[in-house]
Every structure is written in C-alpha cells, then in structure tokens.
Amino acid sequence: MSENAEQQLPPGISPEELVEAVQEMVMMAEEEALKLEQERLRLLESLGNDIDGKLSDRMGRRKMKEAQWLEAQRLYLGSLSNRALAPTEKDPFKTIDNYIDNRKPEVNIIRVKCDAAASQTIAYQFAAGDKNWDINPPSVPEASYEEVQQASQVAGREVRPEEIGSHKANLMSAEIQYHLNCSRYPQEARVAMKDRVVLGTGIMKKPLNSSKLKKTYAKAQLEDGKVLRVPVFSAERVPEVRRVNPWYFFPDDSVTDIRKCEDSIEVHLKSRTEMKELLQRPDFMQDQLQKVLQDEPKEYSNSPFNDPAFLTEGGNTSKNRYTLIEYHGPLTKKMLDACGCDSPNDYERFAEVWAVNGTVIKVELSNLEGCEEVPYCVSVWEPDPASIFGFGIPMLARDGQRVVNETYKMMLDNAGISAGPQVIVDTTLITPADGGLECTPFKVWYSTEYGADLSKAITFFTPPNAYEGLSSLFGLAKQLADEESSIPLLLSGLGLPTGAGDSATGMALMNQNATSPLFYKSEEWDDDITEPLITAMYDWEMQFNPKEEIKGSYEIDVRTSTSYLRNTQDMQKLQALRQEIAQGSPVGEWVNMDELTQVTLMGMRLPYSNILKSPEQVEQERANAQPPPPDPNLMKAETDRMRLELDKERLQLEREIAQVKAAQEERLADIQAEVQFNTNQTRMAEARAQVIKAQYDYESAMAAVASKDEQARMQILAKADSEEMQRQTQLFLAGMEAASKERQAMNKAGGTNVRPIPE
C-alpha cells in the first residue's frame, strides 16, 4: 500500500485489517450472487416444472376430444385408413386392428363434403386474391396543418388532409402485406381452414417476434494476407403468422372462448439438430440449452402426438424428439425479475416462456404492449359447449356415413346371395364320391338307400333380391347426411335435384340456398381470425416497424364474403344501367352520371385510393380545361354532309344545263324544219315549171308530128306517156324522201312539231 493510502486509512485500522475487510465483503458479495443465482435457477426450475405439469394435466383431460379427432380423421380417410374405431363401455372410441383381408367396401361421403366445404370457404375468403382485408384512413382526418402544407409544397398543388391519410394508409397496408407474404399467410390460412372443416377447429397464431436468423458474410483476413468470407448469423426481428396444429395446442381448458384464456401451451417437436440451432439465437439461454442437450428427450405418458400416425402407417413421429413447450401466460414480478425481465409494475405481466424437459430456456415479456391475452385466434365449425375446440363435418355426418356403409354392405351381400341358386342336399339319400358337397360338373354321387326317390335329394332355390328397397334406404341416408352437415352434394357438383335446373332462376335460387350456410361460416372466420389477426399485425407495425411514414390511426376493413358477393351484384346492376344509358334509353335523363361514375369506381375497390379524384378536383379541372379538339368522327360526318350538299348542287346544275341544251336543240330543229320547208317549196315550184315546160314541149312535138302518119303518131304518144310516167314517179319519190327526212329531224329534236310539207 502506498504512503498516501496509508495516510487516508481510518484511525485505528491497519492495512492488513482493511484487506481482510475487503476480502470478506467480496466473499459476501459472491455468496449473495451465488444465492441469487441459485434462487434464479430454483425459480426457473419451478416455472419449468409448473409448465410441464400443466401440459401433462391438459393432455390427460383432453382424451375425449382427441378421440373425436381420431374418428373424424378416420371418417375423412375412409378406406385409406387401416384402423377402425370400436366403441366399448369404458372407452367409446377405442381403436382396434382392422385387417385388410377382412375389410369390406365402403362409400366415403365425408371426404366429398369436407373438400367441398373447405374449397368454398377458401374461395369466399380469397376470391379476389390473397388479400382479404384493407387499411383505410380514419373517417376524420388527423393530419396537422404543417403536414398538409409540407405535402402541398412537395406535390405542387393543394393537398387535402384526407389525401395524406390515404397515402399513409396505403404504405401501412403494403408493409403489412409484405410481412404476411413473408409468413406465407394465405397458405397457412388455407391449412387452418381445412383443420376447421375436418377437426372442427382452425387455429392461427398472431404475429410474434420470431427473431429469425439472418445469415450474412463478413470479411476475415488471415496472417498471409488472404481474405475469407465468414458466415455471421444475426437475429432479425420480423413478425411471424402461422397456422397451429390443434393436436399440439393446449389452451386453458376451463373456458370455451380463446379470448378468456388465462394461458396457453403450444408444443413443438424438435430433433437434436434443430435444438442445436437455437444456440445461435440470442433470445435463448445458452447455459440452459447446453444443460438440456446433455439429457435425452423426455417421453410423456399421455402424449397424443403419435395417434394420427396410427391411422395409416402407425409410425412413432415423436421418437427421439424433444418436446419444446411454448407457454404464454401471466408471471409474477418476482418470477420476471428472476428471469431477467425488468417489470416496472408490481402486478403480473403476460410473458412468453419456452421450456424443454422441465428446463426453462427462454423468458421474455409479451411482444405487443397492451395485449394481455394469448396470441392465438380460434375459429370452430360447430361450437362445443364444453370446450374451446369444436366439431367438424365428419362428426356431424358420422351417423349418415355409418348408415351408408352398412346399407352398402347389405346391398352387396344381398346381390351376392341372390346372384345364384342356393342348394339343399339330403345326405341321407346321397353322398358325394369325392367327399365334398360342392356342385361341380360331372360330379359322382352315391345313393345311400336302395330304391329311394333321388329326385328329392338335391333342391335348388333363389333368395329374393332386395336391391330396390336397400337403394331407397341408401339414398335416404345420403340425404340425411346432407341435412345434418348442411353441405349438399350440389356444392361439389355431384348432385342435382330432379327438375331443379329447368330454369336459370331456379338454378340460381338453388345455388344461393346451398351456399348460404357457407357464407355464414365464412363470416365467422372473418370475426374470429381475420379481424383480430390483422389488428395484431397493425399493432406490431406500430410498435416495432422503424418506418415513421407509415404510422397513424387507421381503420381495418375485413372484406367478408357476403360483402364481396353484395358488391359483385351491385357492380352488375351498375354495368347494366350504364349499358342501357349508352344505348339511348330514356332512363339516362333520370340518372346523375357523375354520381353513377363515383359509385362505380368506389365499388371496384381499387387497391390505392389516391387513384380517384375528389369531386372538387373534377370540377376544377373541368373549369380549367381547354376546349376539346374536334372529334374526328364529327369532322368526318360534317365532311360527308358538305359532300352531299355539293352533289345536290351539281345535279341541279346538270339538270339546268340539260334543259338549256334541250331548248337549244328544239330551236335548231325548228330552224332546220323551216329551212327544209322553204327548200321543199322551191323544189315544188321548179317541178311545176318543168311540168309546164314538158307540156309545152309535148304540144310542140305533137304539132310537129301531126303531119306524120298515124302509126308514127301513136308511137310518139306512147313514148311521151312513158316519159311522163317516169317523171311523175321521180317527183313522187323525191317528195317521199323529203317527208322521211323531215320526220327523222322531228324525232331527233324530241318530238318537236314541224309543219307538214304541202303536197
């Protein structure tokens, strides 16, 4: 010890005494830390034993429900199962071997009903895609003045407060959809819906921090300068939504509503390799895990995990596997402090505990703040008044299935015995030579009584065929199974009542009546699963997502099957109305087209609400819009109209030209006729002059030949008569030719009247 330190020692205490005092304080601190550690381990061990004990107790008390599940799965598998259920007084669901050699044919009506119900409910939930929900902005905008001004400045226009809410709601919706897709939510939901139909209970787990291991590669430089890439695992906080197997789920069995459960236990069967992977998770206690891995897996005497496997192969699916228990329930402050979870309050808090073989390997508070309930959603097909778990379609229709099978067996047995004759052999009269009583060709029989009437030794008779009566019973059993399960064969397309499809209206009503129960079941799924699950996803995003731009108060809209059907019918009516208006119906005078357009766009449920404009924006854009360019169709119609007008004017002008031309031709014909008339008059005058001259010449010739003898005179007269005849003939022909030409000129002029040529 230094000289200055010695001077600072309290009076009367030596350095040796001080060292001893410090060592004693260190030892006391170590002893206190050891006691605290031992107390912590004791509390953890006590917690692990309590959880392990709860699991064992609940396994023992759930045997009746598990027996129902076994029977439901056997009914669903039908002849594919190699196990049968034979009820006894002590155990009404005791299983016995059903050897394949003795197995009789069966008709499985359960599987068809289950598959039809599952497919229909899945279609109602995901008919419009894998997203059956939406996030809407609040009815009253919550955007501040600064947010509105900032958004308006960025957009370059005035932005309304509801537009900001819609934008942020779309971002939140996209973020939730991304995380749901990472968790394979649609696929997990479909499996849970199948559980609900067959086992009567579908279970989905709300989002929890899965601390998913993310593998990255970091650089590592060796001594020789080489660079290697070394895998590094880090825990990535992401929400996980998945389906829970009802066989591995053990909630508080003192209530019938999952929302009232005090705690819940979920079991995970893990191999040793899978347990070693948990060593890389920082949220698990490494020392406790190492302790668990040193021991062999614990086997539970009441374990039901192998029961479903015995329906087919009968293998041990839980052999050499650790039963990892996931517990959700309240823990005291003392227990939370011992587990390293700082609780600021003195009351109990909901926590998540993982234990194996009675050893706690993980403890943390509930992920979602303010959610003091088990993180599970449960939906049943038919409620059980004494359990959280319900009844499925196989249990509802099992009596009908049994009657169908028994009736079918009777039909086959009766068909077998009535297919051929029965034989009665009197062995006191005959005996077979080969010792067998079978009737075979060329068989030899010995008579045992000499002289007996051997015709009575063998008698044949045929049992009556009861196929018609058994067939009616078979159909009645199927019909009763339809009524008991509310799943008619019409849903699967395998049955159609006689005369039901005679009209489209009758067929539509029949389909509506058949699907009504499934609409109700689909709405129950929305109430029990979809809405609380999406609400929990919203809570997780608000609490753990680092993106501030997505956060706000929103309203969750679950797109139920009935609302989807109603919206589809409304859209069909709107489309029919628009088509009627487009065809020029007077109905268009009574319809507000702006309102019709808004309702149609709203009914489409577009994925992004910002696509639609507000009525104010539409009015403003209409006021500021430039005159629209001329419609090419209208321009073409106007051009065609002008062309028709020009064609009319051209035809009118051509008609007038034709009239003028006709008048000119008529005038020309008149002139030609006048000229021809004058010409004919001149020719007639010339002909008369020639006649007078010929007459004078004739008289002169007659006077000259008067003195000749009478014979010569007669010859001269005959010659003169002949010449006169020729001259008259020529004149007549010339007149006829002139008249013909005049008639031709008149015909060419269009029937113009021409004065006749005087004879």
Does 34 have pLDDT greater than 50? Answer: yes
Confidence label for 203 from pLDDT (cuts 50, 70 and 90): very high
Give, in order, the Cα–Cα distances in Å from 334 to each of 343, 347, 355. Answer: 9, 10, 19
Which of 375, 377, 374, 384 shows the shortest CA–CA distance to 256? Answer: 384
Does 560 have pLDDT greater than 70? Answer: no
Does 539 have pLDDT greater than 60? Answer: yes
Does 91 have pLDDT greater than 50? Answer: no
Does 440 have pLDDT greater than 90? Answer: no
pLDDT of residue 284: 85
Does 514 have pLDDT greater than 60? Answer: no
Higher pLDDT, 310 or 373: 373
Does 754 have pLDDT greater than 50? Answer: no
pLDDT of residue 264: 93
Q: What is the mean pLDDT of residues 370-387?
A: 89
Give, for 133, the enclosing helix (H) or strand (E): strand 133-136
Q: What is the mean pLDDT of residues 377-393?
A: 93
pLDDT in tens, 475-502: 888 888 887 777 766 555 445 444 444 5
Judge contact between 325 and 354, C-beta under 8 A.
yes
Confidence label for 508 from pLDDT (cuts 50, 70 and 90): very low
CA distance 483 to 476: 11
DSSP sequence for 72-97: HHHHHHGGG--EEE---SS-TT-EEE
pLDDT of residue 384: 93
Does 371 have pLDDT greater than 80? Answer: no
Express as a percent the part of the chain with pLDDT over 90: 14
Q: What is the mean pLDDT of residues 591-611?
A: 69
Which of 270, 398, 265 shows the shortest CA–CA distance to 327? Answer: 265
pLDDT of residue 392: 93
CA distance 245 to 586: 60
pLDDT of residue 98: 44
pLDDT of residue 68: 93
Does 507 have pLDDT greater than 50? Answer: no
Summary mean pLDDT of the chain: 78
pLDDT in tens, 225-269: 777 777 776 666 788 899 999 999 999 999 999 999 999 999 999
CA distance 692 to 682: 15
pLDDT of residue 380: 95
User: SS3 letters for 560-592?
Assistant: CHHHHHHHHHHHHHHHHHHHHHHCCCHHHHHCC
pLDDT of residue 510: 47
3-state secondary structure of 45: helix
pLDDT of residue 92: 43
Q: Which two tokens stand for residue 52?
A: 């392990």
pLDDT in tens, 277-299: 888 887 788 888 888 888 888 87
Does 509 have pLDDT greater than 50? Answer: no
pLDDT in tens, 624-655: 776 666 667 777 777 888 888 888 888 888 88
Amino acid at 390: G
User: 161-175, 234-248, 433-447, 688-702 — which is least confidently predicted?
Assistant: 688-702
Confidence label for 85 from pLDDT (cuts 50, 70 and 90): very low
Higher pLDDT, 232 or 759: 232
CA distance 471 to 273: 57
pLDDT in tens, 613-631: 767 677 777 777 766 666 6
pLDDT of residue 139: 72
pLDDT of residue 305: 80
pLDDT of residue 136: 82
Q: What is the mean pLDDT of residues 586-605?
A: 75
User: 65-69, 124-128, 409-413, 580-584 — which is least confidently predicted?
Assistant: 124-128
pLDDT of residue 755: 45
Q: What is the mean pLDDT of residues 181-193?
A: 91
Q: What is the mean pLDDT of residues 301-330?
A: 80
pLDDT of residue 500: 47
DSSP state of 687: H
pLDDT of residue 8: 56
Dihedral Cα 447, 452, 454, 460, nearest 10 deg: -110
Q: What is the mean pLDDT of residues 112-125?
A: 86
CA distance 121 to 363: 38
CA distance 744 to 734: 16
CA distance 387 to 253: 7
Cα Rg of the chain, angstroms: 57
Which of 325, 375, 377 shows the shortest CA–CA distance to 350? Answer: 375
Cα-Cα-Cα-Cα dihedral sign, residues 107, 110, 115, 116: positive
Confidence label for 93 from pLDDT (cuts 50, 70 and 90): very low
Angle between the 561-582 and 504-525 helix axes, to the nearest 10 degrees?
Answer: 140
| Burial of 87 (C-beta count, 10 Å sphere; 0-12/13-18/19+) | exposed
